[in-house]
Amino acid sequence: MNPKPAACVSGDGDADLFTALTHARQLIDSAMSSCGADLIYSVPGLEERRRLVSELVENAQQDIKCVVASALFLDELEQALADLDLGHIGKHVSVSVICEVSLANHGIVNELVQTSGQEVRVGTRDLPDMLLIDGRWALVRLSAADTDALHVRSPEMVKLLHAFYGEAWRSSLDHRVYQRVWRVYQCKQTKQIIEMLAQGYKDDVAARQIGMSVRTYRRYVADLMRDANARSRFQIGAWAAQLGLTGDLQDRS
C-alpha cells in the first residue's frame, strides 16, 4: 500500500472559475428567452462563425480577449489573424489569450507569445471557446457539445463574460511558465519527482518510492527549481498539477 501524501496541491481558483462559468451559462440561457434577438443570437454553421470571428477581430479598437479551448476555434482565430499585422495590433489593441494546454504549442499560439504586446496564458479546465471585443461584443460557445456559437451584445451579459474571463485569467499560467515546466517534464525520472512534489510527499518517502537516495532526490529537486525558475519546490508541483501534467506517468512516457 502506498504511503499517504503529506498534502495535496489545491486552491480556490478552480472553484471560483467553475462558479463563474455555471452562473454565466444560467444567465445566458435565461437571457436567450428574455433579450431581443439583436442582443443575443445563435450563430449556426462553421462558415458563418468564421466570418463573424474575422469581422470582430478586424474591427477591434481597444482590446481582444479570447479563450481557445478547441482546435476548431484555434483554426478560426488563426484564419482571422492571418491577414493582420500582429505587431501592429499589439501596439494599438491589447490582446490576451488563454489557451487549453493541449493547444499551447500550436504555431499561432507561439507566434502570439513572441509578438510584443500579446499576453498568452495556459489553462486546463473545461473552458468555453470565447472571444471578447472592446468590452462590447462577445462570441461564445459554452460547451464542446454546442454546435452553434452565441453572439452576445447585451451589455449585462458581456460584463458577466468579462468577469468569467478575469477568473479564468487568474486561474491560468503564463505561457512562459508552461514552457519551462513542460521542458523539465520530458524526462521520465523528472516526471516521477514532479508527481511526488505535486502530491506533497516528504523527501524520504518520495526518494524511496522512486528508488534513489534522499540526497540525490534533493539534488534533483534543486535542479528542477533552477530549470523551471520556480520560487519553491511546491510551486513546481502546483504548476504541473494545474497544467494537468501529473498522474498516469506510464501513459505519458
Residues in contact with 219: Cβ distance below 8 Å, sequence separation at least 6, in sequence order: none
Residue 99 has pLDDT above 60, yes or no: yes
In order of 192, 211, 215, the CA distances from 197 in angstroms are 9, 15, 15
Q: For 13-55, how does the pLDDT look when each residue is reduced to its tens digit (9 = 90+)?
A: 555 555 656 666 666 666 555 555 568 788 887 888 888 988 8
The CATH class, in words, for 176-252 is mainly alpha
Q: Where in the chain is the domain with CATH 3.30.870.10?
A: 13-171
pLDDT value for 116: 57
Q: Where in the chain is the domain with CATH 1.10.10.10?
A: 176-252
The CATH class, in words, for 13-171 is alpha beta
Residue 90 has pLDDT above 70, yes or no: no
Question: φ and ψ at 147, to 5 degrees?
Answer: -85, -30
The length of the chain, given as a count of residues: 253
pTM confidence score = 0.72
Q: Where are the alpha helices (DSSP H) in 35-172?
A: 46-58, 71-81, 86-92, 107-114, 155-170
**Mean pLDDT computed over 154-174:** 86
Residue 76 has pLDDT above 60, yes or no: yes
All cell numbers assigned to 123 = 489553462
Residues 129, 140: contact at Cβ < 8 Å?
Answer: yes
